[in-house]
Structure 1
Amino acid sequence: MRSDSRRNTIEKPETGVAARPTGQKAAPKRSFRRSAAGNVVVMALAGGLIATMALPAYAFAPGSNDTQFGATEATQETKASAQKVTVDASAASVSIARDGFTATTSEELAASKAASEAAARVAVVAAEMATYASAYSGPSVSEYLASPAYPNFSLSSVYSVASQYQGVPYVYGGATPAGFDCSGFVMYVYAQFGISLPHSSTGQGAAGTRIALADAQPGDLVIMDGHDGFYAGNGNILHAPYEGASVRVQPIWTSDYYIVRLGI
C-alpha cells in the first residue's frame, strides 16, 4: 500500500519555473486592460473638475434664477410690440434749405492774389521812384527839349550818348540817369537832340520810319512787343532790360522785332 506522503512531494518543473507545493492555489493574475481603463476614467473626471473650476462665475448666470439676469418689463415690451414715435404735424410743412453761407471761388482767390501782388508792386515802385527822384538833380527830358544839348542830329552821335549810360539801374517809370526803364532810356537820349518821344515803346515805334534790317545802323530803334532799345550793330541791342539789371549791350534774343529810324 502506497503512502499518502507522496502528495506532499514537490514535483520538478519541466520548464525551469519554480514548482509550488501540491494542493496550493495559484495567485490570480492582474488584468492590464482593466487597470488602463480605470486610469482613463480617473483622468477624465479630473479634467472635467479642473475645467469646471476654471469657468468664470458669469458662465453659470444664464441658467440661474437671479433676477438681475431676467428680462425686464421694458425689454419684453420692445420684443412684443412695435415702437412708436410721435411727430408733430407741422413737420410735414417744414422746408429744407441750404445753410446761408458762401464760399470763395478759385477765380475770386486768383483775383484777390493778383490784387495783392499788384498792390505790393505799386508799393515797391513808389519806393523806387522816391529814391530815384532824390538821386538825380540834372536836366530833365523837358529841359533838354527846351534847350537840346546836341542840336546837330546824327545816328552815330545818338548811339555815342546812349552808350554813356551803361550801368544805370533799371527803374520802372524811370527817365533820368538815376534810373531808366526801356522807353524812358530812349526818350531821355533823344531829348538831348531835341526830338520829343512818348514814354512808350509802342509810341516810339510809331514815331519813326520802319526800315529794312539790312539798313539798320547803331542809333536806330529796335522795336519789340512791349520793349525797345537802341540798335548796337551786329545783331545786338543797347537797352534797359528789366528790374534788377542795368543798361547794357547784349545780342537780340528774338526774331520778332523790327527797326525804326527817327529824324528822317
Structure 2
Amino acid sequence: MSANPNRRPTQPAARSVLGSLRNASIVALVVPALFATVALPASAYAPASDDTASDGAARLSAIEQLRQDKAQDVAVASVALAPQSRDGYDITSAAELRRAQQRAALAAYSGPTVREYLANPPYPSFDLNQVVQVGLQYQGVPYVFGGASPAGFDCSGFVMFVYAQFGIALPHSSSAQGRGVGGGHLISRADALPGDIVVMDGGGHSGIFMGGNTMVHAPKPGGVVEVHPIWDPNAWFVRYGI
C-alpha cells in the first residue's frame, strides 16, 4: 500500500522528531563551547602586560618617596676630630736598650765596690801572679760600658777592680792606665810579667797580661771577660805595685 504524501504524521512521531532536533541543537551549542574552552591558549592566564608595568612604576614611585622623606638617612652627632699630628713615641735604639740593661745589672750588684776594696783589700801583699788568678775568677762577666763590678765590666773597670783588691788605686780609663797615672811605670815587652797591665789600640784598650801573647780582659759590648790573644803588635806594658 503506497504512502500518501499529503498525510500528516501522527502525534507521537512528531514529538520524536522535535526531540531529536532539540538534542542536536544542544549538542551543536555545547560541543563548540567545550572545544573553545579546552583550546584556550595558556597565555590567556598570564597577567596583562599593562598591569606589570603599572606595578613596576608603583614600586619606583614608592622608592622615590622614601628618598624624598629621607627614610634611609641616619642622623649622626657631629664628631670633633683631633688635629693630625705625629704620635709622641720615640724609637729606643739598641745602644739605649743595652745601656738600660747595663744600668739594671750594675744596680743588682751588692758586693764590695772598688772604694771598699781599697779601704780594706783582701790581698794586702801585692803579687803579680795572684793578680792573674783573681782576674781569671771573673771570666764570663758581661761587658758593660762604665762597669767596674762583677755585675759588668768595661776594660779599664775590670783592671781597676782587680787591682783594687790589692790596695792599688787605678784610674777608670785605659789611656790613663797606659800612661801610668797613679804610680805606674812603662816597661818593655821583654820585661813584662804575668799580672802587668797591657795597653793597646793607642791607649783605647787595656787588660791583664798573662804571659806569652795572651791576656785576660773585658772585650767589648756583647762580650764577656775572657782570655784572648794580644792582637796589637804595638801594645805596651805598665807595671803598678812594685
Q: TM-score, normalised by structure 1?
A: 0.53
Greater shift, 218-227 or 124-133, is seen at 124-133
Is the 8 Å Cα contact of residues 158 and 219 (structure 1) preserved in structure 2? yes
The CA deviation at 1:121 is 6.2
Is the 8 Å Cα contact of residues 170 and 247 (structure 1) preserved in structure 2? yes
Q: Could you say which residue in structure 1 is the equivalent of 2:208? A: 230
Q: Is 1:248 matched with 2:226? A: yes
Distance 2:134 2:220 in 1: 21
Is the 8 Å Cα contact of residues 165 and 247 (structure 1) preserved in structure 2? yes
Is the 8 Å Cα contact of residues 132 and 174 (structure 1) preserved in structure 2? no
Match of 1:186, SS state, is: helix
Q: Could you say which residue in structure 1 is the equivalent of 2:5? A: none
Unaligned runs of 5+ in 2: 1-89
Q: Is 1:127 matched with 2:100? A: yes
When the two chains are superposed, the root-mean-square deviation of aligned CA atoms in Å is 1.9
Which string of whole-angstrom CA distances, capped at 9 and with x for unpartnered residues, describes residues 182-231 of structure 1? Answer: 00000000011111111100111222111111111110011112000011
Q: Is 1:215 matched with 2:215? A: no
Distance 2:241 2:101 in 1: 33
Match of 2:155 among 159, 172, 182: 182
Q: Is 1:136 matched with 2:109? A: yes
- Which stretches of structure 1, 4 residues or longer, exceed 6 Å deviation after superposition? none
Distance 2:104 2:127 in 1: 34
Match of 2:179, SS state, is: helix
Q: Could you say which residue in structure 1 is the equivalent of 2:141? A: 168
Q: Could you say which residue in structure 1 is the equivalent of 2:66? A: none
Highest relative contact order (Cα 8 Å, sep 6+), 1 or 2? 2
The CA deviation at 1:246 is 0.6
* Counterpart residue identity of residue 172, structure 2: H
**Percent of aligned pairs with the same amino acid:** 55
* Counterpart residue identity of residue 154, structure 1: D
Q: Could you say which residue in structure 2 is the equivalent of 1:239? A: 217
Q: Is 1:149 matched with 2:122? A: yes
Distance 1:223 1:126 in 2: 25
Is the 8 Å Cα contact of residues 106 and 152 (structure 2) preserved in structure 1? no
Q: Aligned pairs, how many?
A: 148
Match of 1:237, SS state, is: strand
Is the 8 Å Cα contact of residues 193 and 209 (structure 2) preserved in structure 1? yes
Q: TM-score, normalised by structure 2?
A: 0.58
